[in-house]
Structure 1
Amino acid sequence: MRLSFFLLTLLVAGCQTRPPQETAASSPRARVAPDAQLRETRWVPRQLAGQLVAVPADSQEPYLLLRADGTAEGNGSCNRFRGTFFSEKPGELKFSPLMSTRMACAAIAIENEFTKALGQSNSYRISGDTLLLFNATSTPVARLEAVYLR
């Protein structure tokens, strides 16, 4: 009887897929992704002024890229833009007036909301792949998502 119990215990122990001390919290699947970097990340607006961004099929996806040298550049959907940004204190993010080309397209309303949100930006918060921009009264003006190029 003792021998069969011993063999059964060995059989069950040999079938375990993970060590007994490993829990769901320490499992690789349960790890939380690190926050994206503010600089040198392509940020795509997903929500502007509380509205989801739906880019027309014949327009370019808008994006923002903050360079390590303090340059802000991107595309509003119709036009490319460029300027500078300031982030002197933790959580602070302000933009200089942005220069851009002046072409019209079907997504000009999205572009106008995007550049307006950037102009109102006073602070930010990154959580995972999401960048939230806030105005001076801490009201969210934009939600952007990090898009990684392959």
Structure 2
Amino acid sequence: MKKLIFAFYVLFATLVMTGCKCTKGTVSKDALVSSGWVLSAMNGNNTLKSKFPNKLPNITFTADNKVSGNGGCNQYGGSYTVDADGKLGLGQMMSTKMFCQGVAEDEYLKILSKADKAKIEDKNLVLYSGDEAVLVFVPKTAE
């Protein structure tokens, strides 16, 4: 009986310790490409209408490692990689260069270029730079 109880505790301890290594919150490629995403917060600010009076920025990831979107005025695109831990690599972005007064597109693209990790949190896509959440997107269907 003591061996059975000991085995149970060993199993329980193993489950507790390995449970801490779960990937909850990380993002898979399938989750990225499942929907387009619309910006809902930038650097913790979710009052974006004054920064993007015409259109909120959006981003779309494809299964063939392409990323594209609209920065609030201009279209942009490039390539990306994402690993099992959510580490995100964005390649050089290209963008159209139409002038749009009063749009914080340059700020958005600069922040986007520094993003190095992606997570899904409460159905939202959160991009991080280091440990700081810098961009939060909602699924495009929730616009």
- The answer on whether the counterparts of 1:44 and 1:61 sit within 8 Å (CA) in structure 2 is yes
What is aligned with 1:142?
135
Can you list the C-alpha shifts for 1:43-88, whole angstroms capped at 9, x where unaligned? 11111122222231xx133210000100000000110001001113
Query: What's the offset of the Cα at 1:107?
Result: 4.6
Structure 2: give runs of 5+ residues left out of the alignment. Answer: 1-26
CA distance in structure 2 between the partners assigned to 1:92 and 1:107 by the alignment: 32
Query: What's the offset of the Cα at 1:89?
Result: 3.5
Stretch deviating more after TM superposition (80-89 or 36-45) = 36-45
TM-score between the two structures when normalised by the length of structure 1 = 0.67
What is aligned with 1:76?
71
What is aligned with 1:38?
32
69 and 47 in structure 1: CA distance in 2 versus 1, 3 angstrom threshold: same
- The answer on whether the counterparts of 1:45 and 1:114 sit within 8 Å (CA) in structure 2 is no
Aligned partner of 2:85 among 66, 90, 99: 90
Identity %: 27
CA distance in structure 1 between the partners assigned to 2:36 and 2:139 by the alignment: 6
What is aligned with 2:9?
none
93 and 107 in structure 1: CA distance in 2 versus 1, 3 angstrom threshold: farther
- The answer on whether the counterparts of 1:40 and 1:68 sit within 8 Å (CA) in structure 2 is no
RMSD value, Cα: 2.0
CA distance in structure 1 between the partners assigned to 2:106 and 2:38 by the alignment: 15
What is aligned with 2:95?
100
Structure 1: give runs of 5+ residues left out of the alignment. Answer: 1-34
Three-state SS of the structure 2 residue aligned to 1:119 is helix
- The answer on whether the counterparts of 1:49 and 1:113 sit within 8 Å (CA) in structure 2 is no
Stretches (4+) displaced over 3 A: none
Aligned partner of 2:127 among 123, 126, 133: 133
Larger radius of gyration: 1
What is aligned with 1:11?
none
TM-score between the two structures when normalised by the length of structure 2 = 0.70
